[in-house]
Amino acid sequence: MFENFENPSSHQEEKKPTKKAKKGTVTQFQFCDKEFSSPVNVPEDNFEATDILPDDEYFYKYFSKEMISMIVEMSNLYGVQFMSKSVKTNEEEIRKFLAIELLMGVVKMNSYLDNWSNRLRYEKIATIMPLKRYKILRRHIHFADHNQQDDDPYFKVRPILEALRRNCISTPNEVRQSIDEMMVPYKGAKAGKKKQYIKSKPKKWGLKIF
């Protein structure tokens, strides 16, 4: 249990601070060996999680294998259209690419290159795929036929968004649900009115998604 220095309740007397704490100061705590006496209300309607899937099956439930096949097809097609040769990727390699992207979202580096650097090398990423190959996939990854582009501002990601949406809708509604939101950082000029500025967010400029 911990107690606040500014409001001590231990058996030993503490002198109150003579000066008012400045705005922005970090509150300090002291720890003591003492029985926890505050009331704890545990709701009676506790529930157990059922139908727990393995991690990979849970992932494919929403990001299906058909979506991965589509990424393979569109990425190889883009290579042929603009580089005159296919990048020759496949489902297994795209799964590895997605694994790297997910890990990079958890382990933050100043640059994605740091994951392969001698000084900051992160083995769980660096051993999945060589940096040179990752750069090629990162450059050519596509979700739609570039030559079929229309006026849809989300044309390049529309197929993957719709496939993901269909998979989410197919999941039966449950009693307890949670909807969260996040800002995808973006300061470019091509998003038009889709770009927002929200002062209270850590990343103030970007695309707001739910």
- pLDDT tens-digit series, residues 54-111: 888 888 989 999 999 999 999 999 999 888 888 999 999 999 999 999 999 999 899 9
Indicate the residue type of 14: E
pLDDT score recorded for residue 8: 43
Burial of 89 (0-12, 13-18, 19+ CB in 10 A): buried
Cα(134)–Cα(136) distance, rounded to whole angstroms? Answer: 5
Q: Which residues pair with 3 in a beta bridge?
A: 30
| Tally: H helices and E strands in the chain | 6, 5
Cα(185)–Cα(203) distance, rounded to whole angstroms? Answer: 6
> Higher pLDDT residue, 127 or 175?
127
pLDDT score recorded for residue 6: 46
In percent, the amount of the chain with pLDDT more than 90 equals 40
DSSP E strands in the chain: the ranges are 2-4, 29-31, 182-185, 196-197, 205-209
Indicate the residue type of 56: D
- For the chain, what is the mean pLDDT? 82
> Which residue has tokens 């850590």?
202
When pLDDT is averaged across residues 22-36 and rounded to a whole number, the result is 69
Q: Which residues pair with 205 in a beta bridge?
A: 197
pLDDT score recorded for residue 118: 93
Structure tokens given for 125: 């990423």
pLDDT score recorded for residue 10: 44
DSSP at 11: S
Cα(108)–Cα(102) distance, rounded to whole angstroms? Answer: 11
